[in-house]
Chains A and B, each alone.
Chain A
Amino acid sequence: MANQSSEPPPPSDPADQNPGNVQPTNGIQQDAEVEAIKQSPPSVFVNSEPMREEQVQNAVKFLSHPKVRGSPVMYRRSFLEKKGLTKEEIDEAFSRVPDPAPSTQATSLNQEGQVKLTPNVQPPASAQTLQPVAAAPTAAISSVGTLTQSRFHWYHAVFAVGLLAASGAGTVVLVKNTIIPRLKSWIRKVVLEEEDENVKKTNLKPSLAEEAAAAAKSAAAAAADVARTSQELLNSKDEEKRYLKEFMNMLDVQVQEMKSMSTAIHRLEGHKDNHVRSFVADQEDYRASVANTKQAYTNGRAEFDLQPGRSSSQPASAETSVAPHPQSYMEIMEMVKRGEKPANIRDINDQPPNPSHRISNPRMVPRAKVSN
């Protein structure tokens, strides 16, 4: 503990104190520190630790999950707060997650894929044939992604790999089919036609070949990107699954609590007398065992020790048992649930008779508190 001063600090009212007039007395130096903390604007009641990037990233993954996106914002914040994230970390995570668009993850992936492809791929006809081929596997992969993200993620991987291979093979085949006939036609033109056309064709050929090569490279790069993102998706699956599992566990715990409460209520309704009798019986047993011989005394001690042990082990198991409510409490709850009003309630007018009644001036000087 930081503040180890054994005597209470000087009895003065901090509200009246001039913050500039702090006089540290001998031995109570820590109070000077406390006063110093009070004076400086950054108070001690804020999280001064730096933002944890890992926590923020986990939160971003959590918030990006479509199931979480469907839930009210309030509960998303509350969940992250319970995980121990600070306000700054939660705000940062919210700012990193794009605003919830009504579209699904597939559409966003499609858009990403197409945005990546279009600047890389140049317009020429050969490249245009490549573009739909490259886009199609991306679309297929992303749609497969939405279909399968809640289950069968390894099927997703198999599909992705297969489609990538197919697209790679397709691009190779298409490139071959486009380049070879063009090469052949170019050779024919070079042999048969004049030098001007030769010049033109030579200009065309490198550009065509270059563009085709560039298109193939970009298709390969896009395929590699898709492979990477799908890998990342796989990795993040675990994190999301964990968060979701915890979410679900919390809900399950709530449901179990309600179930146990309702069973306890049912039990109590039928067994109030037994409860009272057993309570009295326990006390007698304890007294009797303590009053007996040494052996029984140790038994009694053991019993007594067991009791706090039992009750203190219960919190460790994180199980809360509902306290047995009085019988009359249960009766009144039942009555109220049925819509009946208990008979003993009076109609009372508790409104101020004179709402503008002047509040009297203080008569006594407030007494100095010991802890001040």
Chain B
Amino acid sequence: MPVFKTPFNGYSVKFSPFYESRLAVATAQNFGILGNGRLHVLSLPPAPSSPLTELISFDTADGIYDLAWSESHDSLLVAAVADGSVKLYDTALAPAQNPLRSLQEHTREVHSVDYNPTRRDSFITASWDDTIKLWTLDRPASIRTFKEHVYCVYSAAWNPRHTDVFASASGDCTVRIWDVREPGSTMIIPGHDFEILCCDWNKYDDCIIATASVDKSIKVWDVRSSRAPISVLNGHGYAVRKVKFSPHHRNLMVSCSYDMSVCMWDFMVEDALVGRYDHHTEFAVGVDLSVLVDGLMASTGWDELVYVWQHGTDPRAP
């Protein structure tokens, strides 16, 4: 299975929505504590036994915590940087001509960026300064700032069906649902007793959302009856860092955790854990499922490795 060794610690990996064989990795030096960052754009080889090849990479002064591919332009990427800036890159241009934009508004680290998959013109960034900002590619300043959380916002995710709705997960232990047409949040879900590190919407049921927390569990909620979760998924040994619903199967999702594993879950069955991959040797911090290829998944971690494999196979197989 294709592997890539990054010089810095991996933080996030995302498949391109335009090219099946393309993905990007966000990395940060010195575990993201203090150091430079690098954004790699990689290409899958035609044969699974060959390694991943790097198409282009971009260096930043501070670590990159997350990235998002543009849904409108096949070569544009947005990077969430630890110095509070949001940078726009064009992979069709040389590194010397990049970045195209550097948007400095957040006052603390930007931890997450998500591109609107239905409107395709806007994206949201979540930051440790307790706010979420809404941006479009053509404007030099943010359109709106959403300030309600009382602690770091770790993740923000657009609803895959409702173009104006998104959710945010924060260290204040709540998940908030927002509508960009409304002045404030429309729902508050006090989901866990500990920090919530990630949230993601179900791609087939627009009212279902999953939350991943420091309490090692993943909870699946229906926003129509949000007082109690539909399902609680236990099995990770440490904090769950990311969760992502499958674009191909209604009930499947993947998660990665500080217990160094990547897990696949089916939240509608009793024994929810349907797959477990222990290929990383340090915290597994980034995971993604390809929208274009069913079952294709990628992960990265603090062990400076990026793996791409098909669900059901061994990521470390040669």
Contacts and interface: CB of A to CB of B under 8 A. Distances in A.
Contacts of B258: 323
A336 to B, nearest CB: 5
Contact of A350 (B60, B174, B227): B60
Given A15-B118, A345-B36, A362-B74, A1 B205 contact: yes
Contact of B61 (A323, A326, A348, A360): A348
B29 interface: yes
B18 A367 contact: yes
Interface in A40-70: 43-47
A336 B258 CA distance: 22
Interface in A1-45: 1-3, 8-9, 13-15, 34, 38, 43-45
A246 to B, nearest CB: 11
A86 interface: yes
Interface string A224-257: 0000000000000000000000000000000000
Contact of B97 (A14, A353, A369): A353
Nearest to B236: A311
Question: What band does the interface of chain A fall in when counting residues whose beta carbon is under 8 Å from B?
Answer: 35 or more
A229 to B, nearest CB: 33
Interface string B278-289: 000011000000
B35 A342 contact: yes
Contacts of B305: none
B222 interface: yes
A344 B30 contact: yes
A329 to B, nearest CB: 5
Contacts, number: 199
Nearest to B283: A323
Nearest to A314: B216
Interface of B: 17-18, 29-31, 33-36, 58-61, 71-76, 81, 87-88, 90, 92, 96-102, 117-120, 137-138, 150, 159-163, 165, 172-174, 177, 179, 184-188, 190, 193-194, 203-208, 214-217, 222-224, 226-227, 230, 234-239, 247-248, 258-259, 268, 273, 282-283, 291-292, 302
Interface of A: 1-3, 8-9, 13-15, 34, 38, 43-47, 74-75, 77-78, 81-84, 86-87, 308, 311-312, 314-316, 318, 320-323, 326, 328-329, 332-333, 336, 341-342, 344-355, 357, 359-360, 362-364, 366-367, 369-372
Given A87-B188, A370-B248, 18 more contacts: A3-B207, A9-B204, A78-B172, A308-B273, A311-B234, A311-B259, A315-B234, A332-B34, A350-B60, A350-B61, A352-B102, A359-B76, A360-B90, A360-B92, A362-B74, A363-B74, A369-B247, A369-B291
